[in-house]
Chain A
């Protein structure tokens, strides 16, 4: 009996964490759940609607289009940033003065506030006054990201690659540096070429950090808002309206709280599901 009362006291120790999690995650999330099943016309009057909003969102062509845009964007930047990041990490010096120079240069884009990144690229890519825009038009390509959807996509992706490839580089570089010299020596003696060294030593040893890099880049890019909002505002038309931009339009622009709440929850579950799929796939043959 004495044992039991001792155990009960332990709850007091976890109480701060419970309160913290409740306020920063649980309560906001439940508010969203609450909105997602109700309809309001203002004046703080709510009517219960059941799962109607969820059905609406899942059948909405607008949501399908945003989701497809979001998946394409995330897919494209992952396909570019991960191999590019690994390639840059492989070419970076292993020791000496240039290591710190490279690391600082790599870290710079990560330190710039996101809306500044958007603003920088907006000006940089403007066809009439921007350096990049002028140059592209100068070589005879008709480029205007404020009017042409292809140009808008190109610019958004270029901006994201510029902003975030460094993160992959830094993680991959850390992974590479942790490989003991003996592996390279053994490979040399075994007559392995540089491709074999990459395929059988460097890549397997980088696997864990690359898993983290892919997960981080997936989550961040899937929830991207600030940079494209500042760069293109989701346009031209809806060309670069990704999920979170669309969500804000519905929630704050049209003030449709119910549908926006339902969409948030669906959005959240998609991120959760895809993260789980990625993680499971990449860790599948670990510890065998």
Chain B
């Protein structure tokens, strides 16, 4: 068990990348704490799987180094890295029983059969597979097969990190929740580092202590779910996490103050950033409310989601979303909205002003 460090990693699937867009993974350095539960979150095609395969050793990075503890494993193949991986589609060895499937990684490593037997039964019990150990693996349902995939990782006592590549894709909705809580429970029992790739924010936020948000081949933010919600470092994080996502409104800057709709908008900190570029205000719908005065808007539509209504309003051509609690009225024409200054931030070229 050890910390995983990625040093100046960069990867391209092309033989000689020239342009920025040629890199599937742009230069990054990331540390994964030993025993942490991480989620790797981002839209499809943002480089999540590439990053995962670099850690597991299925792919060797074009540039940079991978360290497990104080050991450089960049050139080591997947089977000597002590990693386990659960894939999007369940991988089981069809002709074998569940028992033999679980024993397979140990047998390949020449471990004594009595040790294997003890370990396989232990893991089988942990995954609620005890009753099916003697059955053919091909006969199990998708969630059973995913448990086998996971079990093949868990049987190895030396396993450093277990990686999940969108493991719940083919699982029935009502079983997703069951399997997810099982993972959480296993993480506490086994104590191995777990990295969970997903494009589903609910999966990421419920599973992980730390969420790594990726966008376009870059890590945009690493933080706890609360941090991602309250202090999104990038407009992408604000927009991707939360439902509905953060409002991102074009604004002007005058004398260190944000100007929107001809009015000065109070933000968290005065803007001390000297960077030039596209400036925007970011404020979550949770922190926008109807007010007696402020920004004049027209109400466009409202969707009832139970305890709240999502209301979309417009100022000129700019659309703003806000949450209105149940029981509160939505004003008709001539409405105004205001932003909660403690949760309103300015972003320059997508990045939070003042941050990096």
List A186-208 residues whose CB lies under 8 Å from chain B. 186, 188-193, 196, 200-201, 204-205
Chain A binding surface SS class: helix
Q: Which residues of A contact B104 (CB under 8 A)?
A: 190, 192, 196, 200
Given the interface pairs A189-B84, A191-B105, A191-B109, the reply to whether A182 lies near B95 with Cβ below 8 Å is no
Question: Chain A residue with minimal CB distance to B87?
Answer: A182
Task: Answer yes or no: A185 CB below 8 A from chain B CBs.
Answer: yes
Task: Answer yes or no: B7 CB below 8 A from chain A CBs.
Answer: no
Q: How large is the interface on B (under 10, 10 to 19, 20 to 34, 35 or more residues)?
A: 20 to 34
Minimum CB–CB distance from A96 to chain B (whole Å) comes to 13
Question: Chain B residue with minimal CB distance to A205?
Answer: B94
- Interface residues as binary, A218-251 with B (CB distance below 8 Å gives 1, 0 otherwise): 0000000000000000000000000000000000
Given the interface pairs A185-B87, A189-B79, the reply to whether A204 lies near B94 with Cβ below 8 Å is yes
Number of A-B contacts (CB under 8 A): 57
Task: Answer yes or no: A43 CB below 8 A from chain B CBs.
Answer: no
Question: Chain B residue with minimal CB distance to A182?
Answer: B87
Which of B85, B96, B109 touches A200 (beta carbons < 8 Å)?
B96
- Interface residues as binary, B73-116 with A (CB distance below 8 Å gives 1, 0 otherwise): 00001110001110111010111100000001100110000000
Minimum CB–CB distance from B351 to chain A (whole Å) comes to 35
Task: Provide the bound-state CA to CA distance between A106 and B307, in Å.
Answer: 67
In the bound complex, do residue A186 and residue B79 qualify as a contact, i.e. CB atoms below 8 Å apart? no
In the bound complex, do residue B95 and residue A200 qualify as a contact, i.e. CB atoms below 8 Å apart? yes
Which of B89, B93, B105, B109 touches A182 (beta carbons < 8 Å)?
B89
Q: Which residues of B contact A183 (CB under 8 A)?
A: 91
Chain A count of residues within 8 A CB distance of the other chain = 17
Max chain B C-beta neighbours (<10 A), residue from A185, A190, A201, A204: A190
In the bound complex, do residue B108 and residue A192 qualify as a contact, i.e. CB atoms below 8 Å apart? yes
In the bound complex, do residue A288 and residue B79 qualify as a contact, i.e. CB atoms below 8 Å apart? no
Task: Answer yes or no: B56 CB below 8 A from chain A CBs.
Answer: yes
What are 28 residue pairs bridging A and B, where the CB atoms are less than 8 Å apart in the complex? A180-B89, A180-B91, A182-B88, A182-B91, A183-B91, A185-B53, A185-B58, A185-B85, A186-B87, A186-B149, A188-B77, A188-B78, A188-B79, A189-B58, A189-B78, A190-B79, A191-B79, A191-B108, A192-B104, A192-B108, A196-B104, A200-B96, A200-B104, A201-B93, A204-B93, A204-B94, A204-B95, A288-B138
Given contacts A185-B87, A196-B104, A204-B93, 15 further A-B contacts (CB under 8 A): A182-B87, A182-B91, A183-B91, A186-B91, A186-B149, A188-B77, A189-B58, A189-B83, A189-B85, A189-B105, A190-B152, A191-B79, A200-B95, A201-B93, A288-B136
